[in-house]
């Protein structure tokens, strides 16, 4: 990873001139891969690293943070009780992640959704059964039909080859909504939905990216569902344990506090320049979000940068509100809420299954996340506590509040995933996974399956292992 602010260090005039892959002679000289450096100790990087190590390749993992896990992160909320401050949810279709969870001796626990929901979409809050908001059902039905039409038309394996891709990739989701959504309830709900699904402001993403993201994740209804959907379960004790256990298999080969500045290649290998020095290997795996990957200096220069001028950070902040126990359940509530105004645009019950503490996780997403992230810590906390009192007036103030700001996190540059803006897919899609000579790419943003999810990260790690084994 890099320690920069995400601005490109690669001169654009030289970037476009470099070859994209090894020529025939270079591949013949390369021989069998015996050493690899993996940059980034999140799910993708550690999946790749442990996969390579299991096949006899000598692996070194470099991580800029002082912890492993990337965009998974455990938060201690009570003695022996941790919850997810980052990526958290999974469903039955997330087969590679579920297989890994089982292999590592971890368990899943259902996301608790028993009871009524709270909605504050106007001046007064409303309590009602289920998760469907008290808005015009026909208008929301029309919205979801339009989204279904878009997702059905996109090519999930190659979005840039979707019919009418150029137009769809030039139009923002905000402009699309302005054209297509006529009912005020649909216009109110659309940015809330997109924030929950993608951590996106509609102005930041192209229609092509929105449609691809929804299709890649299993469709609108699967992504939006708890029971039977993509948010059905959590990993008991926190998703961060997956990375911790994978790193445990590698031991001292995982090196923390190593900020990668440059990756230089020649005919015989690759040299990764980091905080503690240079690491030499046959290949490198860059398991970084695209904005961070672009901040590394590459020689030869990249033929196409990993991000475009309109690529944005995923806009998500998590507020973890801690209570002595899940007190909302005593009032027949599930802990789920949807709110038209921030900072908390939605909340969910993330209380540990073992009990001992109650946890409401609040999501600050989209444009609201950027506004909230610019506040000083005191004003952030006050805004969250004040809103929680309005949404759940029957609850006492939380006993603790933790705020995890992924928008401004130095070594993530956003969460859930980078947001592809207008022009990004047509420009960057064809080179999404293509190795740059001895450099391979991993990360959920490189996966056309479950893009932006933990499942996508794991699948990208498996793909990179197969690519590297095929080299020699």
Residue range 438-450, pLDDT digits in tens: 999 999 999 999 9
At 124 the pLDDT is 86
At 236 the pLDDT is 95
Section 218-236 average pLDDT: 94
Instruction: Out of 90-94, 124-128, 211-215, pick the least confident.
Output: 124-128
Asked if the model's pLDDT at residue 385 lies above 80, the reply is: yes
- Percent helix, strand and coil across the chain, each to the nearest 5: 35, 25, 40
At 113 the pLDDT is 82
Higher pLDDT residue, 6 or 176?
176
Nearest 5°: the CA angle 326, 331, 337 is 75
Query: What's the chain's average pLDDT?
Result: 92
At 467 the pLDDT is 97
At 373 the pLDDT is 93
Instruction: Out of 11-25, 151-165, 283-297, 414-428, pick the least confident.
Output: 11-25
List Cα–Cα distances, 295 to 72, 73, 91, 255, in angstroms.
22, 23, 34, 20
Residues pairing with 71 in the sheet: none
At 284 the pLDDT is 98
Confidence of residue 59 (pLDDT cuts 50, 70, 90): very high
At 31 the pLDDT is 61
**Over the stretch 240-255, which tens digit does the pLDDT of each residue have?**
999 999 999 999 999 9
CA distance 131 to 177: 23
CA distance 41 to 62: 7
Instruction: Out of 60-69, 117-126, 250-259, 322-331, pick the least confident.
Output: 117-126
CA distance 113 to 233: 11
The answer to whether the Cα torsion of 452, 455, 459, 461 is positive or negative is positive
Asked if the model's pLDDT at residue 26 lies above 60, the reply is: no
Asked if the model's pLDDT at residue 77 lies above 90, the reply is: yes
Contact 344, 387 (CB under 8 A): yes
Confidence of residue 7 (pLDDT cuts 50, 70, 90): very low
Asked if the model's pLDDT at residue 375 lies above 90, the reply is: yes
CA distance 286 to 295: 12
Domains of the chain are 12-69+239-309+423-469 (3.50.50.60), 74-115+229-238+315-405 (3.90.660.10), 132-224 (1.10.405.10)
Contact 188, 119 (CB under 8 A): no
List Cα–Cα distances, 433 to 28, 57, 289, 425, 470, in angstroms.
21, 21, 13, 13, 15
Helix (H) or strand (E) holding 403, with range, is strand 400-405
Confidence of residue 9 (pLDDT cuts 50, 70, 90): very low
Section 415-426 average pLDDT: 97
At 173 the pLDDT is 98
């Amino acid at each position: 990873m890099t320690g920069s602010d995400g601005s490109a260090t690669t001169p654009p005039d030289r970037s476009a001139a470099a070859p994209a892959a090894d020529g025939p002679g270079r591949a013949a000289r390369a021989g069998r891969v015996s050493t690899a450096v993996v940059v980034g100790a999140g799910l993708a990087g550690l999946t790749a690293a442990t996969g390579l190590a299991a096949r006899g390749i000598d692996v070194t993992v470099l991580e800029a943070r002082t912890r492993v896990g990337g965009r998974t992160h455990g938060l201690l909320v009570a003695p022996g009780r941790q919850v997810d401050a980052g990526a958290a949810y999974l469903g039955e279709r997330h087969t590679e992640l579920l297989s890994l969870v089982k292999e590592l001796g971890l368990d899943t626990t259902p996301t608790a959704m028993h009871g009524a929901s709270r909605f504050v979409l106007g001046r007064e809050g409303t309590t009602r059964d289920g998760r469907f908001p008290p808005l015009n059902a026909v208008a929301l039905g029309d919205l979801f039909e339009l989204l279904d039409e878009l997702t059905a038309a996109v090519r999930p394996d190659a979005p840039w080859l979707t019919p009418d891709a150029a137009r769809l990739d030039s139009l923002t989701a905000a402009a699309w909504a302005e054209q297509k959504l006529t009912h005020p309830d649909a216009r109110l709900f659309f940015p809330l939905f997109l924030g929950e699904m993608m951590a996106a402001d509609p102005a930041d993403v192209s229609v092509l990216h929105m449609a691809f993201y929804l299709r890649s994740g299993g469709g609108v209804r699967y992504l939006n569902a708890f029971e039977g959907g993509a948010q059905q379960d959590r990993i008991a004790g926190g998703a961060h344990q997956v990375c911790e256990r994978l790193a445990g298999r590698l031991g001292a080969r995982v090196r923390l506090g190593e900020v990668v500045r440059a990756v230089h290649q020649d005919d015989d290998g690759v040299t990764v320049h980091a905080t503690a020095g240079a690491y030499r290997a046959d290949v490198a795996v860059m398991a970084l979000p695209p904005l961070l990957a672009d901040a590394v200096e590459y020689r030869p220069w990249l033929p196409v940068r990993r991000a475009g001028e309109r690529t944005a950070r995923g806009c998500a902040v998590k507020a973890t509100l801690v209570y002595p126990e899940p007190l909302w359940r005593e009032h027949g509530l599930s802990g789920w809420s949807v709110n038209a105004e921030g900072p908390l645009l939605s909340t969910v019950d993330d209380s540990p299954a073992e009990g001992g503490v109650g946890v409401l996780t609040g999501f600050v997403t989209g444009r609201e996340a950027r506004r909230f992230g610019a506040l000083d810590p005191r004003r952030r906390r006050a805004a969250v506590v004040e809103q929680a009192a309005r949404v759940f007036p029957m609850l006492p103030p939380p006993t603790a509040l933790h705020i995890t700001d992924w928008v401004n996190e130095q070594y993530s540059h956003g969460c859930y995933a980078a947001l592809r803006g207008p022009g990004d897919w047509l420009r960057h899609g064809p080179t999404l996974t293509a190795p740059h000579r001895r450099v391979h790419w991993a990360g959920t943003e490189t996966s056309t399956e479950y893009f932006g999810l933990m499942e996508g990260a794991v699948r990208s790690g498996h793909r990179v292992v197969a690519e590297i084994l095929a080299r020699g």
